[in-house]
Structure 1
Amino acid sequence: MIWTIIGILLLAWIIGFLFEVAGGLIHILLVIALVVFIAKMIRN
């Protein structure tokens, strides 16, 4: 599940760079996803 979310956010981030869609929102979501992923890995 988490890998799917990370994949979608990375794809959206790349599309955001290519087409400048949603500005900083994509970057904020990517950082949040990265923090959640790291926290989940530390807990396991």
Structure 2
Amino acid sequence: MPNKNIKEDEVGAAYQFASAPKEAEMTGPCFTPDETTLFLSV
């Protein structure tokens, strides 16, 4: 599902959307069926 909030000049730009404590690893990414929420395990 395309994000309609992203402007055309921002397409392909990288941005931080999550962070974890030092020495931690984020695993198990899983989107909700409507693709609006991402769950991560830390």
Normalising by structure 1, we get a TM-score of 0.22
Bigger proportion of residues as strand: 2
Bigger proportion of residues as helix: 1
Tell me which structure has the larger Cα radius of gyration. Answer: 2
Higher RCO (CA-CA < 8 Å; seq separation 6+): 1
